[in-house]
Amino acid sequence: MATIHDHIWSDAQDQAQSLNGWQQHYEQLSCGRFQGHAWQMVMDQGALLRETSNLHLRQQITPPRDHLVLAIPLAVQPGSSFAGRPLARESLLVFGADDEHQLVSAGELDLIGLSVHRDTLNQLTGAKLEWLHQAERDRNLGLSPDTASAIRHLLLAVTANAAHGIAPLDSQAQEAELLTATLSQTVLLAMHSATQDASIPRRTDSRLKVVQRAIDFMQAHVHDPIGVPEICAAAYASRRSLQYCFEEFVHTTPQAYLRALRLNAARRMLKQNDARGITDIACDLGFASGSHFTRHYKVMFGELPSQTLKASGLASHPF
């Protein structure tokens, strides 16, 4: 029986952990209070889903095991990217199963999509299945405006009808029929207009790997006294090259990213009711003092660390 999960969130990482079966990690990179919404209709062989967020985020996303996901933006800010390519309203996102995907939202992002177990793919005809396998390798496909609009309207209509019981789902067979029909129609629309590139250009891929190596190093050493020289060495890049690559793919500087990474880590500790005091957490993450940390924290999240700590036991508020 299909179940609906519908929540609003005031913390990026809380929202990242809310999608059923997904492994996600979000880092808030811009200042302000996070506002997000995660909606899912979970079925035996897949799910309909919609997710919104309002800030500059870097998202590391792994879809549910043995599932394939197709998604399209309803709203997206210029400068956003997915799989190393620009993300626009005419982009079709293809998330392959058991693989991590990188998404950077430059601001407001509203995605709607469909998650389908791989067993369901066998219901597709040969041409559709072949196209879908290639799309999974490409990850980020460009659609014509008319096709993108048609897919958005299709997914919105299916989601609304299912959510309001207009298309009753009283059995696993009806759920499977809905998922198969929606997937088939989405692929049929996309395969006649999508632009598929065999690979990311070599130079672009090299710059993307510089960013990934740098971020991996920062995440592994978030509690250590590292700076730009150490990050450059880990990324095999000069200071100038590192700066350029971060501005291209993450739309911030390495220094600002490291500070955001530490602030996000501190927020997670506070929300988990870490036994240490705020000043101890600040020092552990490399801030010069408690007051220095508090100032940056309030600018980033719109509240004091003490307010986060106080509210850490509160649950999300469903619609």
**Structure-token pair, residue 8:** 């609003």
**Residues in CB range of 70: below 8 A, 6 or more apart:** 92, 93, 94, 95, 113, 114, 116, 183, 186, 187, 190
Average confidence (pLDDT) per 10 residues, the chain, 319 residues: 90 92 94 95 91 96 93 96 93 86 96 92 86 90 94 94 71 83 92 65 81 95 94 95 94 95 94 82 90 94 91 49
Are 61 and 110 in a shared domain? yes
Whether 171 and 91 share a structural domain: yes
Q: What residue numbers bound the domain in which 176 lies?
A: 3-191
> What pLDDT score was predicted for residue 198?
47
Q: How far apart are CA 109 and CA 51, in angstroms?
A: 8
Same domain as 272, residue 247: yes
pLDDT score at 167 = 63
Looking at residue 294, its pLDDT comes to 95
Of 191, 224, 253, the residue at which a domain comes to its end is 191
Predicted confidence at residue 272, as pLDDT, reads: 86
pLDDT at 164: 78
Distances (CA, A) of 269 to 78, 197, 285: 32, 42, 11
CATH number of 77's domain: 2.60.120.10
pTM of the model: 0.89
Does residue 197 fall inside a structural domain?
no
